[in-house]
Amino acid sequence: MCGVVGIYSDKDISKELYYSLYSMQHRGQESCGIAVSDGEDINYKKGMGLVGDVFNEKELNDLSGNMGIGHVRYSTAGGSHLANCQPLVGRCRKRKLALAHNGNLVNANYLKDMLEEDGYMFQANSDTEVILYILARYYKGDIVESLKITMDYIKGAYSLVIMGEEELVAVRDPHGFRPLILGKRGDEYIFASEDAAIDILGGEVIRDVEPGEIIVVKDGKMKSYYYSENYKPLKKSCIFEHIYFARNDATIDKVNVYDFRVKCGEILAKNENIKADIVVPVPDSGWAGAIGYSNESKIPISEGLVKNRYVGRTFIKPTQEEREIGVKIKLNPLSSVVKGKSVILVDDSIVRGTTSKLIINSLREAGASEIHLRITSPPVQYSCYYGIDTPRRSNLIASQNSVEQIREYIGCDSLEFLSIEGILDAAENKATFCKACFDGEYPVKKIDREELLSC
């Protein structure tokens, strides 16, 4: 899960890229980067850390150009190293290309083997470099045709923004696993992972980039192409974008994230008979679900956990030790609110279980008499290969434990999850989702080497 942005304008846009990335900092906190083109050359700056730490005003002023792309990253394929920072910039057929990627390929290792046999040398270990090299390998002057060939090879999740010296290109994989949105401000075109990156610039969201779509902006004009002439969209938008990753103000594939989360809370509260005193959300992603739960149950909602706003999202920290320290720093219980109370604690998901355990322990210590945990998504039982940092199923607490065993481990008095049917009802059938992390039904299977070489 990363964030990408691309802007085509008639003026310098480095600061616009900066502000757009800043609005999507929640999508990745390990590294960031910006690349801009002035029509003749591509210049770029990237580094480890947050957007506000990597860039200063002088550096942004030096990145002069009317077209550019940007990226915020947390690592799912490849480690948290400077070499893996994006955008990646390379030279091909006497011209430069810059590329930023959100998602994961399921066949990156096999493609890398193939490229290395052809003499390619890799500087990083992310699948984004694989995409760049495949694109360069088949580029003969027509970016659209080379992208169609590239899309024949790469399998999995990818939302891309690509820039040459003269054109800006946006690409979404044939399933549309990861979001990519088209916006406009006057004659300016904007592509971004979420609405906020467009909204803060005063732009208007036009639509989602369609699965399998290739959009090219050149000479101030936009043209749309599709992966193949007989292409039929195979929409499988990632349900976890709506459950956790995206901001509340995002609308992805026609589903508003806030409305979806509130509805999930409402559905979860139906037919409940818990006699609790207060509903307490786990900040920040649990708030909308808690509002929905409170609305349906008529139990008042209270801020029982205070969040330190200067601590990042604990789920996307690179090590478990850092996650645990982050939780302790990040959330502090309000003893005056929870002491002696029966609490309905609402969170969006349980992945490893350690965060929930720490939160419940802290509420116990603050004097809560009962803690009933309600999760506005189903148990995460299967690994994700499309851009979520859950590659090992053994790390997922629900993969090997029943709901009762999870309850015992994390220490709450009762535990309930929303069903898969519940999340689909919350979306009101407005989108077709990938739910592989819940049901193990993977839209794109891993590809063996013989199958790869035959394509």
What is the crossing angle of helices 257-269 and 420-427, to 10°?
A: 130
CB atoms within 10 A of CB 52: 12
**Domain identity same for 222 and 359:** no
379 touches 403 (CB < 8 A):
yes
The predicted pLDDT at position 75 comes to 65
pTM: 0.91
**Domain identity same for 392 and 272:** yes
Examine residue 439 and state whether it is found in any structural domain, yes or no. Answer: no
| Residue 312: pLDDT over 60 | no
The predicted pLDDT at position 331 comes to 86
Examine residue 165 and state whether it is found in any structural domain, yes or no. Answer: yes
The mean pLDDT of the chain is: 90
| Closest C-alpha among 4, 28, 17, 156 to residue 80 | 28
CB atoms within 10 A of CB 282: 23
The predicted pLDDT at position 327 comes to 63
Task: Read off the pLDDT of each residue in 65-73 and give the average, rounded to a whole number.
Answer: 96
Identify the band that residue 322 occupies on the pLDDT scale cut at 50, 70 and 90.
low
Identify the band that residue 455 occupies on the pLDDT scale cut at 50, 70 and 90.
very low
Q: Which residues 6+ apart lie within 8 Å of 306 measured at CB?
A: 283, 331, 332, 333, 334
Provide, for the chain, the percentages of residues in helix, strand and coil under a 3-state DSSP scheme, each rounded to the nearest 5: 35, 25, 40
Examine residue 443 and state whether it is found in any structural domain, yes or no. Answer: no
| Residue 406: pLDDT over 80 | yes
Residue pointed to by tokens 């996307």: 316
311 touches 281 (CB < 8 A):
no
Identify the band that residue 329 occupies on the pLDDT scale cut at 50, 70 and 90.
confident
Examine residue 201 and state whether it is found in any structural domain, yes or no. Answer: yes
312 is in which domain, residue-wise?
Answer: 254-433
**Domain identity same for 215 and 291:** no
More confident residue, 310 or 287: 287
More confident residue, 318 or 290: 290
Q: Can you give the CATH number for the domain in which 22 is found? A: 3.60.20.10
Report residue 437: phi and psi, to 5°.
Answer: -65, -20
Cα gap 260→408, rounded to integer Å = 29
- Cis bond leading into 87, ω under 30°? yes
**Domain identity same for 210 and 299:** no
**Domain identity same for 279 and 135:** no
Least confident residue range of 48-62, 133-147, 169-183, 311-325: 311-325
CA distances from 179 to 11, 43, 122, 222, 251 (A): 27, 26, 28, 19, 10
Span 120-171, pLDDT tens digits: 888 777 899 999 999 989 988 899 999 999 999 999 999 999 999 899 999 9
Q: Can you give the CATH number for the domain in which 281 is found? A: 3.40.50.2020
Q: Which residues are catalytic?
A: 2
The predicted pLDDT at position 123 comes to 79
**Domain identity same for 190 and 277:** no
Least confident residue range of 176-180, 189-193, 289-293, 426-430: 426-430
Task: Read off the pLDDT of each residue in 49-56 and give the average, rounded to a whole number.
Answer: 94
Examine residue 106 and state whether it is found in any structural domain, yes or no. Answer: yes
The predicted pLDDT at position 452 comes to 41
107 touches 65 (CB < 8 A):
no
Task: Read off the pLDDT of each residue in 83-106 and give the average, rounded to a whole number.
Answer: 90
Span 332-350, pLDDT tens digits: 899 999 999 999 999 999 9
CA distances from 186 to 5, 192, 203, 219 (A): 17, 17, 8, 15
Examine residue 331 and state whether it is found in any structural domain, yes or no. Answer: yes
| Residue 448: pLDDT over 60 | no
Residue pointed to by tokens 């580094």: 47
The predicted pLDDT at position 155 comes to 95
CA distances from 376 to 262, 269, 418 (A): 9, 10, 5
Examine residue 66 and state whether it is found in any structural domain, yes or no. Answer: yes
Span 244-299, pLDDT tens digits: 999 999 999 999 999 999 999 999 999 898 999 999 999 988 999 999 999 999 99
**Domain identity same for 71 and 180:** yes
Strand 414-417 relative to strand 370-375, pairing: parallel
The predicted pLDDT at position 213 comes to 95
The predicted pLDDT at position 392 comes to 81
DSSP structure class, residue 25: G
Question: Which amino acid makes up residue 23?
Answer: S
Task: Read off the pLDDT of each residue in 424-448 and give the average, rounded to a whole number.
Answer: 87
Instruction: Specify the number of domains making up the chain.
Output: 2
Tokens read off for 445: 């299977």
**Domain identity same for 130 and 228:** yes
CB atoms within 10 A of CB 98: 29
57 touches 67 (CB < 8 A):
no
**Domain identity same for 162 and 260:** no
Cα gap 120→198, rounded to integer Å = 37
Cα gap 157→163, rounded to integer Å = 19
End-of-domain residue from the set 185, 208, 235: 235
**Domain identity same for 330 and 225:** no
**Domain identity same for 184 and 264:** no
Task: Read off the pLDDT of each residue in 189-202 and give the average, rounded to a whole number.
Answer: 97
| Closest C-alpha among 72, 60, 71, 62 to residue 16 | 60
Identify the band that residue 451 occupies on the pLDDT scale cut at 50, 70 and 90.
very low
Examine residue 247 and state whether it is found in any structural domain, yes or no. Answer: no
Least confident residue range of 112-116, 137-141, 170-174, 233-237: 233-237
Residues facing residue 223 across a β-bridge: 216
**Domain identity same for 158 and 300:** no
End-of-domain residue from the set 206, 235, 264: 235
CA distances from 401 to 42, 314, 351 (A): 51, 23, 12
